């Protein structure tokens, strides 16, 4: 895998802790106001590639915020088939379903070596009351996750395989842009099988659909390096509720 790009977060070995202010900022809230309020430090946990940060069904005792790296959110069926519910990157919240207090509903598996800030549930309520900025930030994140859940349903609602993939890529690009990264060049951290399980398709179909999107001229694909050549075209393809990317009037060859 391309773990080549992983350099940036080996920041001075290990500051394996994170202040409340830094956390609020990581969550996208207003950190300034919160800076003086609490001087607790949260722990930071490393998760090796392929390791699972939390296990479906296990009792919940913390929520996590991704500091670096990426995760896939997985729900494993009894027959071993694992459905990939979504992916998470820096600033995303993990284990939020554990806020219900009982058990985690999903597993979170690291796609690369990653780090997360640990927010133990014990005392979290009290801290939220003491630091309204943290409360607001968590609240907003939670609502955001809800909206994302709607997105995945939207993606899977597409009938045609290539439209599903197009939607997936569009959403992905949007999230990347939101995160300040390039929306034109996606360096996928997950393999085809993960994407397939996410979209409810066979991984062979993913491969073929990539091919179709490339042929249509929307993309250039090199393994996990995806360049979006024509964002508007891709979006248009993603819009198709029913028909495939058939009405492509232009194909150099044809």
Partner DNA sequence: CGCGCGGTTGACAATGATCAAAAAAGGTGG
Partner DNA sequence: CCACCTTTTTTGATCATTGTCAACCGCGCG
Q: List residues near a second copy by CB under 8 A.
A: 75, 77-79, 81, 83, 85-86, 96-101, 105-106, 125, 129, 132, 136, 139-140, 142-147, 149-150, 152-154, 156-157, 159, 197, 200, 239-242
In the complex, what is the shortest distance from the CB of residue 174 to DNA, in angstroms, rounded to a whole number?
22
In the complex, what is the shortest distance from the CB of residue 2 to a second copy, in angstroms, rounded to a whole number?
20
Q: Is 246 in the site for DNA (CB under 7 A)?
A: yes
Residue among 10 and 146 whose Cβ is closer to DNA: 10
Residues 218, 224: Cα–Cα separation, whole Å: 16
Residues 154, 158: Cα–Cα separation, whole Å: 7
In the complex, what is the shortest distance from the CB of residue 176 to DNA, in angstroms, rounded to a whole number?
18
Please give the residues from 194 up to 233 whose contact with DNA meets the rule CB under 7 A: 200-208, 210-211, 221, 223-224
Q: What is the DSSP string of 144-192?
A: HHHHHHHHHHHHHH--SHHHHHHHHHHHHHHHHHHTTS-SSEEE--S-H
Residues 238, 147: Cα–Cα separation, whole Å: 18
Secondary structure (3-state) at 135? helix
Q: Read off the DSSP letter of residue 103.
A: B
Residues 43, 122: Cα–Cα separation, whole Å: 14
- The encoded tokens of residue 95 equal 């284990």
Using CB distances below 5 to 8 A depending on partner kind, what does residue 98 bind out of a second copy, DNA, none? a second copy
Structural element, H or E, at residue 198: helix 192-199
Binder among 161, 166, 172, 213 for DNA (CB under 7 A)? 161
Q: Is residue 89 within 8 Å of 66, Cβ to Cβ?
A: yes
Using CB distances below 5 to 8 A depending on partner kind, what does residue 239 bind out of DNA, a second copy, none? a second copy
Residue among 46 and 144 whose Cβ is closer to DNA: 46
Q: Is residue 118 within 8 Å of 26, Cβ to Cβ?
A: no
Q: Which of the ranges 15-23, 84-92, 113-121, 189-197 carries the binding residues for DNA, by CB under 7 A?
A: 189-197
Using CB distances below 5 to 8 A depending on partner kind, what does residue 15 bind out of DNA, a second copy, none? none
Using CB distances below 5 to 8 A depending on partner kind, what does residue 16 bind out of DNA, a second copy, none? none
Q: Is 106 in the site for DNA (CB under 7 A)?
A: no
Structural element, H or E, at residue 214: helix 203-215
The contact set with DNA (CB under 7 A) reads: 1-3, 159-162, 191-193, 200-208, 210-211, 221, 223-224, 242, 244, 246
């Amino acid at each position: 895998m391309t773990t080549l790009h992983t350099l940036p977060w080996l920041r001075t070995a290990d500051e394996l802790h994170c202040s409340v202010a830094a956390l609020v900022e990581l969550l996208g809230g207003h950190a300034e106001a919160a800076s003086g309020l609490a001087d607790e430090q949260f722990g930071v946990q490393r998760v090796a590639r392929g390791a699972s940060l939390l296990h479906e069904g296990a009792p919940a005792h913390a929520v996590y915020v991704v500091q670096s790296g990426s995760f896939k959110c997985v729900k494993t069926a009894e027959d071993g088939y694992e459905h990939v519910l979504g992916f998470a990157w820096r600033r995303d919240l993990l284990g939020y379903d554990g806020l219900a207090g009982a058990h985690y509903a999903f597993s979170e598996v690291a796609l690369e070596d990653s780090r997360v800030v640990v927010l133990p549930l014990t005392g979290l309520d009290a801290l939220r009351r003491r630091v309204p900025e943290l409360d607001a930030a968590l609240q907003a994140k939670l609502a955001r996750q809800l909206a994302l859940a709607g997105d995945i349903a939207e993606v899977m609602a597409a009938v045609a395989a290539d439209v599903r993939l197009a939607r997936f890529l569009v959403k992905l690009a949007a999230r990347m842009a939101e995160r300040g990264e390039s929306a034109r060049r996606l360096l996928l951290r997950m393999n085809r099988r993960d994407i397939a399980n996410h979209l409810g398709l066979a991984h062979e179909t993913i491969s073929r659909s990539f091919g179709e999107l490339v042929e249509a001229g929307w993309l250039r694909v090199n393994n996990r390096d995806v360049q979006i050549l024509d964002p508007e075209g891709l979006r248009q393809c993603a819009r198709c509720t029913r028909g495939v990317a058939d009405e492509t009037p232009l194909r150099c060859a044809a």
